[in-house]
Structure 1
């Protein structure tokens, strides 16, 4: 080393300090370094506190998600369990009407027929309230494999091929989904 080069001593923060500083200047530099170190330690404590707060918030959020999932699962289970409650409730008047009709001992044929018609209307209303809709195609309607089930093809003079020749049994939709297709006979090609 060249003797004219100043001697360099490291400081607390690792930066070299020139050797020609006085003791007072060195002490001032050391005090400044200690102040910086204290500020860094204070900042570290602040960051640790913020980290602890964020960890707690994360754990609370996780618990809330689990509670929400559990509540949703419970509501789905209840909905499945009681899904037919409304439907069953709408069928009770039909049951009452049938029981009342059977309780009459000396009914005439006209009274039995009238009671049956009223009960059938009640049943149809109950089905409609629960979104169960009849599929009853008319003769001559186009065959729709989504709504109809063809039992056979029959010769039908004067009728277009692949149209309904006769309906053997009505079909039903529930909320626009096929519950039972209508059983039909389809006009054969000629």
Structure 2
């Protein structure tokens, strides 16, 4: 037996142990955790970049479609007075002189018809609200308001100038007179 008393020996739990000896793979685990975190961060950045690229593609596609549909809006707006002037030219010829100016009227009407065809080809439609139609502030501009017996408040009572739409956008509102509450 040994000289030492068994009570004098230190228990195993209390012996100081080298940490590297305890976990020889601790350094590798730390490296794996760092690499996993870096991978996750790169995956996140990649997914965000992919989403940004997809959003940019969709935005560019929408802008391209808008340019195709509405790119001619300014030119169309500039042509609207030509449409109005051609109508005024036809309306300016008195009934008793229509037969003598038939060739001129026919030429103006053909020009007006061709302009209408060009408008239709590019998605431009004419807004001509009917008398008695309800006033719509999204499509009409009220030029005056007057009480008119036999009408309801807010009804169109006169069309002064037609309006125009390009596809689903308003180019110019129709200028109308609107009925107010009829006077008693």
TM-score, normalised with respect to structure 1: 0.53
What residue in structure 2 maps to residue 151 of structure 1? Answer: 143
Alignment: residue pair count: 152
What is the CA distance between 1:114 and its match in structure 2? 3.1
Does 2:10 match 1:7? yes
Alignment RMSD (CA, Å): 4.3
User: Does the 8 Å CA contact 1:169/1:183 hold for their aligned counterparts?
Assistant: yes
Partner Cα distance (2:139, 2:60) in 1: 36
- Contact kept? 1:87, 1:130, Cα under 8 Å: no
The separation in 2 between residues aligned to 1:153 and 1:48, in whole angstroms, is: 76
Aligned counterpart, 1:50:
36
- 1:57-115 alpha-carbon deviations (Å, 9 max, x no partner): 445455556656766776677677775259969xxxxxxxxxxxxxxxxxx95444334
Kept after mapping to 1: 8 A contact 2:141/2:175: yes
Pair 65,169 (structure 1): closer, same or farther in 2 beyond 3 Å: same
SS in 1 for 2:110: helix
Q: What's the offset of the Cα at 1:136?
A: 1.2
Could you report, residue by residue, the CA deviation over 1:130-152 in whole angstroms, capped at 9, with x for unpaired residues?
44332212223333344333323
Identify the residue that residue 160 of structure 1 maps to in structure 2: 151
Aligned to 2:134: 142
Q: Which has the larger radius of gyration?
A: 1
How far residue 169 of structure 1 moved from its aligned partner, in angstroms, is 1.0
Paired residues of 2:73 and 2:171 also in contact (CA < 8 A): no
Change (3 A) 1:87 1:122: farther
Give the TM-score normalised by the residue count of structure 2: 0.54
